[in-house]
Chains A and B, each alone.
Chain A
Amino acid sequence: PESADLRALAKHMFESYNKAFPITKAKSRAIMAGKTGDKSPFVIYDMNSLKAGEERIKFKQTPLQEQNTEVEIRIFQRCQFRSVEAVREITEFAKSIPGFINLDLNDQVTLLKYGVHEVIFSMLASLMNKDGLLIAAGQGFMTREFLKSLRKPFCDIMEPKFEFAMKFNGLGLNDCDIAIFIAVVILSGDRPGLINVKPIEELQDSILQALALQLKISHPDSPQLFAKLLQKMTDLRQIVTEHVQLLHTIRKTEAEMSLHPLLQEIYKDLY
């Protein structure tokens, strides 16, 4: 019966994940392999294709003063809009974790404040391959080389995420594995300022058991996968720390840049 409970928990997290996140790894891989029957993504690999892509791709939000803004700032603003959207999706997912909404409300805020970027970078890996990443819900594909060719400091934003993604994708996780993993990440009992750690650790413990069983069943040939995946949590913290430092630099040096209020809240006093 205990393992039946853990399987039910895994199934529940997978269903919430599919409900909360519009693009899954399976969908992203199908788009990249051209197996969806839709148009293939528009490839952005230089300034001309960027311009053509901006006309062709239907973006969810069109930031104001777009035309006259520098390319790097435009790309960065779109990243911000997508991040804000992702925070909303992750919040919705977190609320579906059994017991999460019964935690102290301050602790819910803390868990999201520290967890959302680790979740964003875990899930971003699903949209990436070694050559680039899917953008705008799979309508576009921006190459890694193009992102590297942007002026400093913007060229430094995505490269560490690609490096992490290549290692993370090497684990061969499926969407159900990822769903449970991000729930484990959110329920980290060692975030600074938590008031009531014990119930968080208890929730995380049952999700960890569900993850261990899930990996055993879906990857019977990789007995070390659970341990390897838990090690990735350390890498994620490192990436977020570097990301926050880079954003501080950008805010100091780029007068034109504005940071969305939700992201300001999250980054303030983070690390």
Chain B
Amino acid sequence: LKEKHKILHRLLQDSTSPVDL
């Protein structure tokens, strides 16, 4: 699940990380 949701997972770990808007 984590593999398929890399960005969501990253946001959970660090919500300040960029999501390339």
Contact = CB atoms under 8 A, between A and B. Distances in A.
Interface in B1-21: 1-2, 4-9, 11-12, 15, 19-21
Nearest to A91: B11
Contact of A88 (B1, B2, B6, B15): B15
A61 B15 CA distance: 18
Q: Tell me if A's interface is mostly helix, strand, loop or mixed.
A: helix
B8 to A, nearest CB: 5
Residue with the greatest number of chain A CB neighbours at <10 A, chosen from B2, B7, B9:
B7
Interface string A51-74: 000000000110000000000000
A110 B19 contact: no
A105 interface: yes
A109 B15 CA distance: 13
Q: Tell me if B's interface is mostly helix, strand, loop or mixed.
A: helix
The number of chain A residues touching the other chain, given as a range, is: 20 to 34
A85 interface: yes
A106 B2 contact: yes
A95 B9 CA distance: 12
Contact of B12 (A61, A112, A193, A262): A112
Contact of A265 (B8, B12, B15, B21): B8
15 contacts: A61-B21, A84-B19, A88-B19, A91-B15, A95-B12, A105-B9, A109-B5, A112-B12, A113-B8, A262-B7, A262-B8, A265-B6, A265-B7, A266-B5, A268-B4
Given A81-B21, A268-B4, 18 more contacts: A84-B21, A85-B21, A87-B11, A88-B11, A88-B15, A91-B12, A95-B15, A101-B12, A105-B9, A108-B12, A109-B1, A109-B8, A112-B8, A261-B7, A262-B7, A262-B19, A265-B7, A265-B8
Interface of B: 1-2, 4-9, 11-12, 15, 19-21
